[in-house]
């Protein structure tokens, strides 16, 4: 399966390389390419480098481009416009790259990968819906890495498709069930017990789906 590739555009070569390194660790099968610094090794962004990175990152499923600040956006915009296989994601660089990489690893299309990056800063807090059912369950994680990259992505994708507000509780921390990064941020590992609560029209479905995914070790 061909996955969406990523390009990280930064004023600094080392920053771009570092972000790619972090993203690659979360998503070993995703091609992420750094385009940082100017051609002569200085601070800045280089159109040709970004264009080449987009070419190198594309395995046939398209490319999502993230950028750091200022003129990097303009260079990234022009490179995306000149390529016909790329799109821009306007999200936080590090969190966005990780969220995008995890989404791409899971086989998401370019629009969904860009969306993951753009929402990586976290959705605004919403009040819990007062209508519909309310369900909860305690789940023991039996896979070794727990709610880490791919399992977190699996959960977030599944919860996104169900009309319910899902919250995952671990110790005193809580996470939105639709947010890959929030789920990863819980730090729940194999053997840990987490509590899943859901409200909304399909709360029961959401909790049952979560339990099924956990029982299947999230497909790992």
Partner 1 sequence: MTVGCTAADLVTAIRAAAATVAEHRVELIQLDRAIGDGDHGENLDRGFKAVLAALGQSTVDDPSAVLKLVATTLISKVGGAAGPLYGTAFLRASTAVKDRAELTAADVAEALTAALGGVVARGKAEPGDKTMVDALTPAVQAATGESITEVLTAAAEAAQAGADATVPLVARKGRASYLGERSAGHMDPGARSTALLLRAFAEAAAR
Q: Which of 48, 161, 163, 216 binds partner 1 (CB under 8 A)?
A: 48
Q: Compare residues 25 and 71 and give the one whose CB is closer to partner 1.
A: 71
Pairwise CA distance, residues 170 & 25, whole Å: 24
Q: Which of 12, 22, 24, 47 binds partner 1 (CB under 8 A)?
A: 47
Q: Compare residues 81 and 216 and give the one whose CB is closer to partner 1.
A: 81
Pairwise CA distance, residues 188 & 140, whole Å: 10
CB of 19 to partner 1, least distance (A): 23
CB of 71 to partner 1, least distance (A): 9
Strands (E), the chain: 5-10, 32-36, 63-67, 86-88, 133-140, 165-170, 173-176, 193-200
Q: Would you state the torsion angle of the CA atoms of residues 193, 154, 34, 62, taken in this order, to the nearest 10 degrees?
A: -170
Residues 177/159, Cβ–Cβ less than 8 Å: yes
> If phi over 0 gives left and psi between -120 and 50 gives alpha, with beta otherwise, what is residue 200?
left
Residue 90 dihedral angles phi and psi, to the nearest 5°: -95, 75
Per CB under 8 A, 74 contacts partner 1: yes
Per CB under 8 A, 45 contacts partner 1: no
Contact region for partner 1 (CB under 8 A) — 46-54, 112-120, 140-148, 193-201?
Answer: 46-54
CB of 81 to partner 1, least distance (A): 6
Catalytic annotation on 148?
no
Per CB under 8 A, 43 contacts partner 1: no
Site residues for partner 1 per CB under 8 A: 46-48, 51, 74, 78, 81-82
- Active site members: 11
């Amino acid at each position: 399966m061909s996955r969406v590739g990523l390009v990280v555009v930064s004023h600094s070569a080392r920053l771009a390389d570092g972000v790619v390194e972090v993203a690659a660790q979360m998503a070993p099968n995703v091609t992420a390419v750094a385009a940082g610094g100017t051609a002569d090794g200085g601070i800045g962004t280089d159109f040709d480098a970004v264009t080449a990175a987009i070419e190198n990152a594309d395995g046939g499923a398209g490319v999502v481009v993230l950028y750091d600040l200022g003129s990097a956006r303009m260079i990234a915009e022009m490179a995306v416009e000149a390529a016909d296989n790329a799109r821009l994601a306007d999200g936080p660089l590090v969190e966005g790259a990780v969220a995008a990489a995890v989404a791409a690893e899971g086989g998401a299309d370019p629009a969904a990968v860009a969306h993951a990056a753009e929402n990586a800063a976290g959705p605004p807090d919403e009040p819990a819906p007062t209508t519909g059912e309310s369900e909860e369950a305690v789940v023991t994680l039996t896979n070794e890495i727990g709610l880490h990259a791919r399992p977190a992505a699996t959960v977030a994708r599944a919860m996104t498709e169900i009309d319910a507000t899902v919250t995952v509780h671990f110790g005193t921390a809580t996470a939105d069930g639709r947010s890959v990064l929030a789920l990863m941020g819980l730090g729940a590992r194999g053997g840990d017990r987490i509590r899943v609560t859901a409200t909304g029209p399909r709360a029961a479905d959401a909790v049952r789906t979560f339990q099924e995914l956990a029982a299947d070790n999230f497909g790992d």
